[in-house]
Structure 1
Amino acid sequence: MMLPTLSTLKTAVLLLPLAIPTAALALPQTAVWRLADAQNHQHQNHQHQSGAGHSHGSLAVPTGTPQPTVNLVVERDRKSGWNLRLTTTNFQFAPEELDKTNRVDSGHAHLFLNGKKIARLYGPWYHLASLPAGKQTLMVELTSNQHNVITVNGQPVIAKVTVDVPAMK
Structure 2
Amino acid sequence: MNRARAARRTAALAAVLLLAAGCGGRPTTHHKPGTSHEEATAGAGRLLTEKDAAGHRHRELPPGQEPSVRLTARPDSEDGWNLHLTLGRFRLTPDSTGSGAVPGRGHARLLVDGKETARLYGTWHHLPATALPGPGPHRLTVRLHADDHTVWVRDGRPVQSSHTLGEETGGKSGEKSGPPARTVELTVADGRVTPPVGRTEVKKGDRVTLKVRSDRDDTLHVHGYDEAKKLTAGETATLTFTADRTGLFEVETHGTHLVLTQLLVR
Match of 2:141 in 1: 139
SS of corresponding position for 2:162: strand
Normalised TM-score (structure 2): 0.42
Aligned-pair Cα RMSD in Å: 2.2
Closer, same or farther: CA 56–62 of 1 in aligned 2, 3 Å: same
Q: Deviations over 1:75-102 (max 9, x none)?
A: 1001111100001100000000101121
1:109 is matched by which residue type in structure 2? A
- 4+ runs of 1 displaced by more than 2 Å? 165-169
The question of whether the paired residues in 2 share the 8 Å contact of 1:60 and 1:104 is answered with: no
Deviation at 1:104, TM superposition (A): 2.7
How many angstroms apart in 2 are the aligned matches of 1:109 and 1:77?
A: 21
Cα distance in 2 for partners of 1:68, 1:134 equals: 30
Q: Which runs of 5 or more structure 2 residues have no equivalent in the other structure?
A: 1-35, 38-51, 170-174, 177-266
Amino acid across the alignment from 2:143: E
| Identity among equivalent pairs (%) | 34
Are 2:102 and 2:146, in contact at CA under 8 Å, matched by a contact in 1?
Answer: yes
SS in 2 for 1:142: strand
Cα distance in 1, alignment partners of residues 141 and 135 from structure 2: 17
Corresponding residue pairs, total: 121
**Is the contact between residue 112 and residue 118 of structure 1 (CA under 8 Å) also seen in structure 2?**
yes
The answer for the alignment partner of 1:72 in structure 2 is: 71
| Distance of 1:129 and 1:54 partners within structure 2 | 23
Q: 1: distance between equivalents of 2:103 and 2:84? A: 21
The CA distance in 2 between the partners of 1:88 and 1:126, in whole Å, is 14
Structure 1 residues 16-95: aligned runs within 5 Å = 44=36, 53-63=53-63, 65-95=64-94
Whichever residue aligns with residue 54 of structure 2, its letter is H
In structure 2, what is the Cα distance between the partners aligned to 1:75 and 1:129? 12
Larger Rg: 2
Partner of 1:19: none
Task: Provide the TM-score with structure 1 as the length reference.
Answer: 0.65
- The one of 153, 158, 161 aligned to 1:151: 153
Query: Which stretch has the larger CA shift, 127-136 or 155-164?
Result: 127-136
Shift of 1:166: 3.6
Partner of 1:111 in structure 2? 110
Task: Check 1:53–1:156 CA distance in 2 against 1; reply closer, same or farther (3 A cut).
Answer: closer
Instruction: Determine helix, strand or coil for the equivalent of 1:96.
Output: helix
Distance in structure 2 (CA, Å) of the matches to 1:166 and 1:135:
6
Q: Distance in 1 between matches of 2:56 and 2:168?
A: 35
Choose between structure 1 and 2 for higher RCO, CA contacts under 8 A separated by at least 6 residues: 1
> Equivalent residue for 1:125?
124
Q: What letter matches 1:107 in structure 2?
A: G
Q: How far has the Cα of 1:55 moved from its partner?
A: 1.6
How many Å apart are 1:53 and its aligned residue? 4.2
Partner residue of 1:164?
166
